[in-house]
């Protein structure tokens, strides 16, 4: 939809009229939406996508500096991201100080560092049979040391988090010893945690299947939480939206984790079937909205502080221009958040106490069905971003310019 200033102003004042009555201040919402920032992973900037094929879009960032340039551009257009999440070994900085300075000049900080013990990249021992859980102690030790190196790189860049995702598991019954694999993982994580600075957080992902299809060592939030408890207070559960079996109630998982102050943060993406890594909000926007409802409720009712939660996109596929895709994802996340802020929580609480099921649904849908695009746009413009980032990106022919600069065959490292 093309944007006009007049239409924008009208929609915004309509929102103020609509929600003013229930005591919701649009100005307050605008400042909350403006403040909300989501980190972008370095691996989302290439058209790498799925593990099945790569169709380069051209002009992809060829190194860490160019990845930072792309995120700097996203930050400037959308005002919705101010950090990058690096993946080691894909993003080893040659000169950490220079990279740090470049990032700072673009207004980009370093979010969680991601370790990689799910593929072989020339290290001494293979991760084919697992990493932190491997039956062989020397492989476990190598994987621990890799994580410690990732922490060192993160320290040199000013990061404060380590995200661990394990592909560990087995493909066939009998292949792995379940309890020993868990015990090995626990001890490895304890060793990694012991090497983390005192102001760092460890974010532990879970995933029910893939690349292992019979069992994964950390299949669900419960196993992740159990391991985190054994590791330490600053180890918490990371919810990657794609890492659930179909129809899992993710908003309930979020509420449960917040209830125990165990929610580390999110990897946003969307899916139809599994870990599809599709653009956030492209498939199940209602689910995303309900997740934000739980987040806002959990923070307001002081289950867990909003500021303690990390936000990141983790999507990567091979059909869209990655920058356009990220613009859309950042917009969808901001919309879901804005809609959840519109929920009349007092009324919802009353419906819950009175057993008014119909009323509760009405309250949620009144917020969800509201068009908040003008609100999100206003937040962006007030922060100095573009009114319509996607239209700007296209009209300025930014991809064409990137291709001219970096080449048609330039590909980014990553998935
Ligand atoms: C694999 C995965 C996981 C990690 C990322 C690096 O499932 O997508 O979510 O966060 O790779
Ligand atoms: Mn993830
Ligand atoms: Mn994943």
Could you give the ipTM of this predicted complex?
Answer: 0.98
CA-based angle 102:103:106, to the nearest 5?
90
How is residue 248 written in tokens?
Answer: 């899992």
Atom of ligand 1 nearest to the CA of 316: 8
Residue 44 contacts residue 327 (beta carbons within 8 Å): no
At 145-162, the pLDDT tens digits run 999 999 999 999 999 999
Q: What region does 265 belong to: left with phi over 0, alpha with psi -120 to 50, or beta?
A: left
> How many whole angstroms from 240 Cα to the centroid of ligand 2?
5
**What's the 206 CA to ligand 3 centre distance in angstroms?**
9
How many whole angstroms separate alpha carbon 217 and alpha carbon 390?
41
Distance 205 CA to ligand 2 centre (A): 7
Measured distance CA(394)–CA(109) in Å, rounded: 27
Kindly tell me the burial class for residue 349, based on how many C-beta atoms sit within 10 Å of its own C-beta (0-12, 13-18, 19 or more).
middle
What is the model's pTM? 0.97
**Ligand 1: residue whose CA is nearest its atom 11:** 165
Q: How far is the CA of 243 from the centre of ligand 3 (A)?
A: 6
CA distances from 130 to 117, 135, 238, 302 (A): 8, 8, 20, 39
Domains and CATH numbers, the chain: 37-342 (3.20.20.150)
Q: Residue 18, SS3?
A: helix
pLDDT band at 51 (very low <50, low <70, confident <90, very high): low
Decide if pLDDT at 389 tops 90.
Answer: yes
Per-residue pLDDT tens over the stretch 280-329 = 999 999 999 999 999 999 999 999 999 999 999 999 878 999 999 999 99
Q: Answer yes or no: is pLDDT of 413 > 90.
A: no
Protein residues with C-beta less than 5 angstroms from the ion ligand 3: 275
The residue to mutate among 314, 315, 415, having the most atoms of ligand 1 within 8 angstroms of its beta carbon, is 314
């Amino acid at each position: 939809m093309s944007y006009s200033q007049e239409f924008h102003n009208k929609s915004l004042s309509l929102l103020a009229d609509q929600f003013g009555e229930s005591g919701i201040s649009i100005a307050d919402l605008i400042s909350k939406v403006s403040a909300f920032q989501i980190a972008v992973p370095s691996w989302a900037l290439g058209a790498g996508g799925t593990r099945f094929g790569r169709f380069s879009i051209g002009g992809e960032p060829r190194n860490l500096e160019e990845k930072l340039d792309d995120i700097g551009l996203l930050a400037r257009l959308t005002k919705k991201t101010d950090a990058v999440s690096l993946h080691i070994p894909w993003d080893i900085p040659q000169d950490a100080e220079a990279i740090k300075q470049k990032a700072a000049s673009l207004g980009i900080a370093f979010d969680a560092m991601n370790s990689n013990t799910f593929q072989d990249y020339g290290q001494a021992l293979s991760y084919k049979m697992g990493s932190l859980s491997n039956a062989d102690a020397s492989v476990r030790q190598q994987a621990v040391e890799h994580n410690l190196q990732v922490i060192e790189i993160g320290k040199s860049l000013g990061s404060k988090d380590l995200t661990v995702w394990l592909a560990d598991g087995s493909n066939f019954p009998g292949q792995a010893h379940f309890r020993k694999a868990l015990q090995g993982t626990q001890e490895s994580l304890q060793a990694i945690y012991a090497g983390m600075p005192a102001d760092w957080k460890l974010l532990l992902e879970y995933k029910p299947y893939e690349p292992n299809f019979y069992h994964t060592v950390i299949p669900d939030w419960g196993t992740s939480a159990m391991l985190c408890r054994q590791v330490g207070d600053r180890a918490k559960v990371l919810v990657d939206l794609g890492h659930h079996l179909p129809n899992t109630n993710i908003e309930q998982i979020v509420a449960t984790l917040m209830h125990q102050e165990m929610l580390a943060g999110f990897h946003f993406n969307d899916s139809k079937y599994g870990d599809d890594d599709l653009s956030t909000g492209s498939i199940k926007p209602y689910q995303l909205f309900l997740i934000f409802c739980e987040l806002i409720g959990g923070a307001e009712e002081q289950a867990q502080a909003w500021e303690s939660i990390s936000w990141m996109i983790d999507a990567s596929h091979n059909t869209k221009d990655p920058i356009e895709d990220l613009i859309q994802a950042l917009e969808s996340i901001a919309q879901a958040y804005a809609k959840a802020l519109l929920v009349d929580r007092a009324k919802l609480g009353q419906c819950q106490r009175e057993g008014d099921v119909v009323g509760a649904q009405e309250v949620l849908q009144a917020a969800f069905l509201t068009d908040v695009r003008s609100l999100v746009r206003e937040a962006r413009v007030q922060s100095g971003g573009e009114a319509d980032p996607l239209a700007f990106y296209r009209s300025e022919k930014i991809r064409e310019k990137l291709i001219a600069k970096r080449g048609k065959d330039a590909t980014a490292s990553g998935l």
